[in-house]
Structure 1
Amino acid sequence: MDSEKAMASAPATATSTTTQLIPFKYSNRVLLKTILDRSDGGLELVGERVLIGGWVKSSKEVMKQTPPPPPPAADHAPAREPEPKSDVSCVEILQSRIPFLRTIVKVLGGSSSNNTLRERIDAVLKPAPPSTAFLKISDGSCPASLQVVVESSIVPPCQLLHTGTCVTVEGVLQQSVVKGKHVVELRVEKVLHIGTVDYSEYPLSKKRVPIEKLRECFHIRARTTTVGSVMRIRSALTFGAHTFCHNHGFISVQVPILTSTDCNGFSKKYKVTGLFDKADQKEEPKAIAEIEGVNLEAIKAAAKEKSSLVEELKRTDSNKEALAAAVLDLRKTNELASQLEAREKSKLKTSQKVDNVKSSEGSSSSQTFLTVSGRLHLESYACSLGNVYSFGPRFRADKGESPKHVPEMLMFEIEMAFSQLEDVINCADEFFKFLCKWVLENCPEDMKFVTERIDKNRVDRLQSVISSSFERISYAEALNVLNKVTDKKVETNLQWGAALTEEDLSHLSDEIYKKPVIVYNYPKETKPFYVRLNDDGKTVAAFDMIVPKIGKLTSGSQNEERTHILSTRIKDLGLPREQYEWYLDLRRHGTVKHSGFSLEFDLMVLFATGLTDVRDAIPFPRSYGKAKY
C-alpha cells in the first residue's frame, strides 16, 4: 500500500518541480521576472515560498478594524480568573499596568500643565492599531512590479512605505484577493533587510517625474520604469548585435581609443596632451618656499666654511658645547643644500617634459586624439582575418547640444575583406532588420510598456521595417527628388556637390518615402579620403542609411584599395602623409577590395524605444561642460 501511494504521488511531485522557482545563482533571491513574466502572471506558483529583494515603487497602508470589546459577564456568574501564563510578553505587562501608570501621573501632578506629559505617555503606551502595508516592489529585472503584503505585527509600516526603500523579504505567493492588475501577491513572513531612504531628498519621491528632470540624477533614474525598460532594451540590442556578428563569422577586435590618425579628416576631435594643471603639481616643502631667491652655490660655500670651522674646533679641543652647536649648524646647512639641489633637478625635469609636450603639439605627426572612428584600424585586421567588428565609444568635440548627438557615443563597426559597396549595403540592411526583430522577440514586456507610455506605434514601426524593402537611391537621384518638393521646410535648389544636411536626409525617409532610405555614390568632396573613387572620377562608393524619426543611423563605404589613388587623395586634402604610412602599407602588401560600415548604437536604442533625445537612451551621457558623474 505504501509503495502504491508513493507511486501515485510521484507524478504530482514531478509536476511541482516544473513550476518550482530557481533562485538567482549568486544570491538567494528570486528574480521577479521569473514570477511576473509567465503567461499566467505567476498563478501556477501559488503556494511557493520565495525570497525577493527590490525597491518600493509605491505603497499604501490599510487600517484594520478592531473587534468590539466582549460583553460584560452576568452578575450572578462570578468571573473565573484565567490561569496565569508563563510566557507573558513585555507589551502585555505594560498594557496591564496602564491604569496604574496613569495614577502615578496624577499623583505627580494633575494640573493642566501636565496634560502634555500625560498625552505623551498615553501615546507611547497605547498600542498602535493593527494595519497592513501593501507595497509594489521592483527589482529591475522586468517592467512589472510584485505586490507585497506586510502585516504591522511583523514590521511597523512607517519603515516600509517611503518610495525608494529597499527591502528583502521572505514569504509565500498567494493569489491576489482583489482582482485587477496583480494576479499574485507575496504574503510576507519575514523581513530580512530594510534600506531606508531620505524621503525629503529622494529625487523620485514624486510620481511621474518628467524624463527631462531625470537627466539631473543619472545615478538614480534607472529605478524608474521608463529608464529601466530602455536599459533592458539597450542590453538586449547589445547582445543581439554580437549575436549577429557571431552567427556570420565575424571576429571581435578592440580598436584603440587614443590615436594619432584622423579617421575622417574633417571631424572636430578631442586632443590629448601631457600638460598638467598647476593645481595638480605638488606643493614645495615650506622650508624651500621660504628660501626663494637663495643661491645654491652660496649655500654650498657656506657649508664648506662651516665644515672647516668644525674641523678647527676639533683640532683645538674647544669646549664641547661650541663644537656641538657648530656640528648642528653644519648639518642644517647641508640639509638645506640638499633640498635646493633636489628642487633644481625637479625643475629641470619638469621643464624638459613641458618642452617635449609643446614640441609634440607643434608637430602634426605626433598629435594624439580621442578616436572618432575605428574603421581604419579595423581594416588592418580585416586584411588579415577576413571579417571583423568592434564595439566601443567614439568621440566628437562638438560644443553644441543636439537631441541626436552627444560628444561620447557608442559605435558598432563592421569591416569585411573581399567585399564591395553592394555587399556592405546588404550587410547593413540585414544587420538593422535583425536588431529590430531581436528586440521584439526578446523584450516583449518592455516593448509593451514602450507602446503604452512612450510611442503607441513603436512596435508596428519595427515590424514594418522587418517586412519592408528599403529604398535605395543615388546622391544624384536624392538631389532631384529634394529639389522637386515644394512644401519642404528645408533649403531648396540644392546644387551638385552640396552636403545633404540632417534635415534633407530626414525629409527623404519621413515625408517622401516614409521608410528607411539608403543614399549611395556621394560626391568625393563630402566623404573621407579613404572611400573608393568611382570610375566617373566625381563620386565615391559611400552610403548612408536614413531611418524615420532618427535620421542617419548607419554610414559605410567601400574603401580605396589602390595605392596611387589613395596617395593622391591624401595629398590633395593636405593630410600629413607620415600619419598614414601604415595605412598605405595595407595596399602595398597584398591589397584586397574591402568595405565596412558604422552603426551609431545609441541612435539604434532611440529608434527601438521611440524616445526623442539620445541623452535618455544613454546611461551616463556626456555633454559639453556637463560631465559631473
Structure 2
Amino acid sequence: MNTNTVSQLLAKDQFGQEIEINGWVRTFRAKRFIALNDGSTINNIQCVVDFENTDEDTLKRITTGAAVHIKGELVESQGKGQKVEIAVKSIEILGDSDPETYPIQPKKHSFEFLRENAHLRTRTSTFSAIMRLRSSLSFAVHKYFNENGFYYMHTPIITGSDAEGAGEMFRVTNLDAKNPPLTEEGKVDFKEDFFGSETNLTVSGQLEAETYAMSLGKVYTFGPTFRAENSNTSRHLSEFWMIEPEVAFMDLAGNMDLAEDFMKSVINYILENNREDLEFLETRLLDEEKTKPQAERSEMSLIEKLKFVVDNNFKRVSYTEAIDILRNSKPNKKKKFNYIIEEWGADLQSEHERFLVEKHFKCPVILFDYPANIKAFYMRLNEDGKTVRAMDILFPGIGEIVGGAQREERLEVLKEKMAALDMPEEELWWYLDLRKYGTAVHSGFGLGFERLVMFATGMTNIRDVIPYPRTPQNAEF
C-alpha cells in the first residue's frame, strides 16, 4: 500500500478506504486525538487512536514532535473543522521526542526564539507556510522565464569584479592569514593567492549575465549573492538570492514592460496555487494588526496587497515628477516625513516610495530617469547629462522591490564614467569588450528574492523568509 500525504487525504471523501500515512505529531490530547502534519499542507489531519487497544508504552511515546507511521481507515470526521479523519488501526513510533526538551511546543513562540531554533522552526504552521510559498515563488520564477524564451545561466559565485562598486565584499583566499606573502611595498601579494589575484564572493551576477545576453539574446540568473555590509536591520542579509534577467535589443520601456509582467505573473501564481498558506498568513497578520495603534495598521490585508499588484497597471513616473509630488505633499510640508524632501537629487527613502504608491497614485509605481550620481556606473546616461535610464518598481508596504536599467552600451561614455569613479579599465576589460564588438541597446533588472518572499508572506523581518539567515556575527547552522 502506498503512503498518502495529509494534503491528499484532506481532499478525499472516499470513506472506508484503508490508508497509510507518515508525519509528525503536532499535538496529542486525551490519549486519543493526534493532530498530524507532514509538511504537505498548512492543515493537520486528526488521527483517532483506540487507546483501549493500544499499549500504555506506545501512548506515552506519542508526544509533540514525534515521527509516526499510521495505518488506518479514512472516515467522516465527527468534529468540526475538517470533513475526514483517520481511525487508527496501528501506529509505529519512528522517532521519539522528549516532551521536556523539545523546543517547538504547541504554543506561541517569538520569532527571535524560532530563529535560534531555525533547524526546527518549519515544524510551526507559520514557517511551513512561508517556506512552501518560497518554494512556489522560486518555481514561478523559472516557469515565467522558461515560457518567455529566456536561457538560465549560472553566473560565478567567486569573482574579481565588484558589480555595485560599493566595495563591501567577502574576500576569497587561501593565503595564510597570519603570515601572508607581501610585495616590496609591504602589501598582501595576491599574485601568490589561489586565483593569482584578489577575489571575492559575488554581489551580483549582472555583469556576467550581460555577456551572455549579447550572444543568447535573453538570459537570467537566479542564485546566491553576498554583501559584507555590517547592517543588523530587518531588511539586510549577508547572503541572499538574486533574480537578474538581461535582454539584448531592449530599451528602458521594454525593461519596464518585462518587469511588470514578471512581477504580476509570479504573484498570480501563488494566488492560484498557495491559497491556504496565504489565508493562514493573512489571518496571522490580521491578529497582529489588532495589537497595533490604529495609525500603524495596514490599510490592506495580505491577499488584498497581492491582488493590488496583479490587478492594477503600474504607474510610470519620472524621478523629477516624483520629487515635485513629494516636495509639495502634506507629510513633507508638515515635516511628517523622517527625511524631508527639499531639492532634486535626493535619494528616496521607503517612506517616500510608500507615499507615492499607497497615498498618491494608489497603485504600484515605476520610477525612472534617476540622477546619475545616485545610481551605478553601468546605467545609460540620458541626453540631459544628469540622469540615467534607471527604473525602480515600488510596492505597497515595502517600497522599492525591483531595480533595473538600460545599460550603457557606448564605449567612450562608459570609459568616462569608470574614470570618474577611479575604476581601472583593466579590471573590467571583458565588460568593455561588449561595447567594442557588436554593441547594442540592452537592459535588465534585479530582484532580491527574499524581498519578494517578504512581500508575498507579509513577514516584516528578512531573516524569517530564508531557511538559515546569515547576518553580522551570525553564521550558525
Give the TM-score of the pair, scaled to structure 1: 0.69
Aligned counterparts of 1:139 and 1:548: Cα–Cα separation in 2:
34
Letter matched to residue 121 of structure 2: R
| Structure 2 residue 1 is matched with structure 1 residue 30 | no
Aligned counterparts of 1:508 and 1:267: Cα–Cα separation in 2:
31
Aligned counterparts of 1:351 and 1:400: Cα–Cα separation in 2:
29
Tell me the equivalent position of 1:129: none
Structure 1, unpaired ranges of 5+? 1-22, 62-131, 279-349
Aligned counterparts of 1:619 and 1:535: Cα–Cα separation in 2:
45
Q: Secondary structure at the match of 1:451?
A: helix
| Structure 2 residue 41 is matched with structure 1 residue 142 | yes
Tell me the equivalent position of 2:469: 621
Letter matched to residue 170 of structure 2: Y
What do residues 287-307 of structure 1 show as CA deviations (whole Å, max 9, x unaligned)?
Answer: xxxxxxxxxxxxxxxxxxxxx
| Structure 2 residue 215 is matched with structure 1 residue 384 | yes
The answer as to whether partners of 2:35 and 2:47 remain within 8 angstroms in 1 is: yes
Structure 2, unpaired ranges of 5+? 287-299
Tell me the equivalent position of 1:411: 242
Give the TM-score of the pair, scaled to structure 2: 0.91
Go from structure 1 to structure 2 and tell me whether the alpha carbon gap of 1:367 and 1:498 turns closer, same or farther (over 3 Å shift). farther
Aligned counterparts of 1:160 and 1:210: Cα–Cα separation in 2:
27
> Which of these residues, 15, 22, 26, is aligned with residue 57 of structure 1?
26
The answer as to whether partners of 1:268 and 1:397 remain within 8 angstroms in 2 is: yes
Go from structure 1 to structure 2 and tell me whether the alpha carbon gap of 1:484 and 1:155 turns closer, same or farther (over 3 Å shift). farther
| Structure 2 residue 66 is matched with structure 1 residue 165 | yes
C-alpha displacement of 1:172:
0.8
Aligned counterparts of 1:159 and 1:538: Cα–Cα separation in 2:
73
Aligned counterparts of 2:41 and 2:187: Cα–Cα separation in 1:
51
The answer as to whether partners of 2:24 and 2:65 remain within 8 angstroms in 1 is: yes
- Range that drifts further, 564-573 or 501-510: 501-510
Aligned counterparts of 1:251 and 1:439: Cα–Cα separation in 2:
23
Aligned counterparts of 1:608 and 1:600: Cα–Cα separation in 2:
13
The answer as to whether partners of 2:181 and 2:188 remain within 8 angstroms in 1 is: no
Go from structure 1 to structure 2 and tell me whether the alpha carbon gap of 1:498 and 1:59 turns closer, same or farther (over 3 Å shift). same
Letter matched to residue 145 of structure 1: N
What do residues 307-328 of structure 1 show as CA deviations (whole Å, max 9, x unaligned)?
Answer: xxxxxxxxxxxxxxxxxxxxxx
Tell me the equivalent position of 2:85: 185
**Correspondences of 1:596-607 after superposition (within 5 Å):** 596-607=444-455
Provide the identity percentage.
37
Tell me the equivalent position of 1:492: 340
| Structure 2 residue 396 is matched with structure 1 residue 535 | no
| Structure 2 residue 233 is matched with structure 1 residue 402 | yes
Q: Secondary structure at the match of 1:491?
A: coil
Aligned counterparts of 1:242 and 1:145: Cα–Cα separation in 2:
30
> Which of these residues, 436, 440, 443, is aligned with residue 267 of structure 2?
436
The answer as to whether partners of 1:143 and 1:225 remain within 8 angstroms in 2 is: yes
Q: Secondary structure at the match of 1:503?
A: helix
What do residues 466-498 of structure 1 show as CA deviations (whole Å, max 9, x unaligned)?
Answer: 111112111111111111123232222432223
Q: Secondary structure at the match of 2:22?
A: strand
C-alpha displacement of 1:366:
3.1
Q: Secondary structure at the match of 1:543?
A: strand
| Structure 2 residue 32 is matched with structure 1 residue 133 | yes
Q: Secondary structure at the match of 1:358?
A: coil
Q: If you compute each CA radius of gyration, which structure gives the higher value, 1 or 2?
A: 1
Bigger fraction of residues in strand = 2
C-alpha displacement of 1:352:
5.6
C-alpha displacement of 1:399:
1.2
C-alpha displacement of 1:513:
2.7
> Which of these residues, 358, 362, 376, is aligned with residue 188 of structure 2?
358
C-alpha displacement of 1:277:
5.1
Tell me the equivalent position of 1:7: none
Tell me the equivalent position of 1:274: 174
Tell me the equivalent position of 2:302: 458
Aligned counterparts of 1:53 and 1:155: Cα–Cα separation in 2:
20
Q: Secondary structure at the match of 1:213?
A: helix
Tell me the equivalent position of 1:195: 95
Tell me the equivalent position of 2:297: none
Aligned counterparts of 1:448 and 1:141: Cα–Cα separation in 2:
16
Tell me the equivalent position of 2:362: 514
What do residues 135-172 of structure 1 show as CA deviations (whole Å, max 9, x unaligned)?
Answer: 00000000110111122323435434421111111111
Aligned counterparts of 1:142 and 1:595: Cα–Cα separation in 2:
39
Bigger fraction of residues in helix = 1
Letter matched to residue 534 of structure 1: N
Tell me the equivalent position of 1:231: 131
Go from structure 1 to structure 2 and tell me whether the alpha carbon gap of 1:543 and 1:357 turns closer, same or farther (over 3 Å shift). same
Aligned counterparts of 1:167 and 1:482: Cα–Cα separation in 2:
59
> Which of these residues, 117, 121, 128, is aligned with residue 217 of structure 1?
117
The answer as to whether partners of 1:490 and 1:504 remain within 8 angstroms in 2 is: no
**Aligned-residue CA RMSD (Å):** 2.2
C-alpha displacement of 1:461:
1.7
Go from structure 1 to structure 2 and tell me whether the alpha carbon gap of 1:351 and 1:234 turns closer, same or farther (over 3 Å shift). closer
Aligned counterparts of 1:396 and 1:502: Cα–Cα separation in 2:
20
Aligned counterparts of 1:165 and 1:192: Cα–Cα separation in 2:
10
Q: Secondary structure at the match of 2:352?
A: helix
The answer as to whether partners of 1:32 and 1:142 remain within 8 angstroms in 2 is: yes
- Range that drifts further, 223-232 or 502-511: 502-511
Go from structure 1 to structure 2 and tell me whether the alpha carbon gap of 1:361 and 1:613 turns closer, same or farther (over 3 Å shift). farther
The answer as to whether partners of 1:404 and 1:550 remain within 8 angstroms in 2 is: no
C-alpha displacement of 1:444:
1.6
The answer as to whether partners of 2:181 and 2:189 remain within 8 angstroms in 1 is: no
The answer as to whether partners of 2:454 and 2:465 remain within 8 angstroms in 1 is: yes
Go from structure 1 to structure 2 and tell me whether the alpha carbon gap of 1:274 and 1:236 turns closer, same or farther (over 3 Å shift). same
| Structure 2 residue 468 is matched with structure 1 residue 468 | no
Letter matched to residue 379 of structure 1: E
**Correspondences of 1:6-21 after superposition (within 5 Å):** none
Aligned counterparts of 1:146 and 1:382: Cα–Cα separation in 2:
49
Letter matched to residue 256 of structure 1: P
Residue correspondences, number:
455
Tell me the equivalent position of 1:578: 426
The answer as to whether partners of 2:144 and 2:265 remain within 8 angstroms in 1 is: yes
Tell me the equivalent position of 2:105: 205
C-alpha displacement of 1:435:
1.2
Aligned counterparts of 2:120 and 2:187: Cα–Cα separation in 1:
40
The answer as to whether partners of 2:48 and 2:88 remain within 8 angstroms in 1 is: yes
The answer as to whether partners of 1:273 and 1:357 remain within 8 angstroms in 2 is: no
Aligned counterparts of 1:187 and 1:392: Cα–Cα separation in 2:
45
Q: Secondary structure at the match of 1:148?
A: strand
C-alpha displacement of 1:185:
1.2
Aligned counterparts of 2:377 and 2:172: Cα–Cα separation in 1:
23
What do residues 41-92 of structure 1 show as CA deviations (whole Å, max 9, x unaligned)?
Answer: x3x221111110111111112xxxxxxxxxxxxxxxxxxxxxxxxxxxxxxx
The answer as to whether partners of 1:169 and 1:190 remain within 8 angstroms in 2 is: yes
Aligned counterparts of 1:560 and 1:578: Cα–Cα separation in 2:
18
Tell me the equivalent position of 1:255: 155
What do residues 389-410 of structure 1 show as CA deviations (whole Å, max 9, x unaligned)?
Answer: 0101111112121212211111
Letter matched to residue 505 of structure 1: E
What do residues 492-530 of structure 1 show as CA deviations (whole Å, max 9, x unaligned)?
Answer: 243222322333323322333333211110111111111
C-alpha displacement of 1:206:
4.5
Aligned counterparts of 1:619 and 1:498: Cα–Cα separation in 2:
36
Tell me the equivalent position of 2:410: 562
Go from structure 1 to structure 2 and tell me whether the alpha carbon gap of 1:351 and 1:268 turns closer, same or farther (over 3 Å shift). closer
The answer as to whether partners of 1:172 and 1:186 remain within 8 angstroms in 2 is: yes
The answer as to whether partners of 1:544 and 1:555 remain within 8 angstroms in 2 is: yes
The answer as to whether partners of 1:267 and 1:372 remain within 8 angstroms in 2 is: no
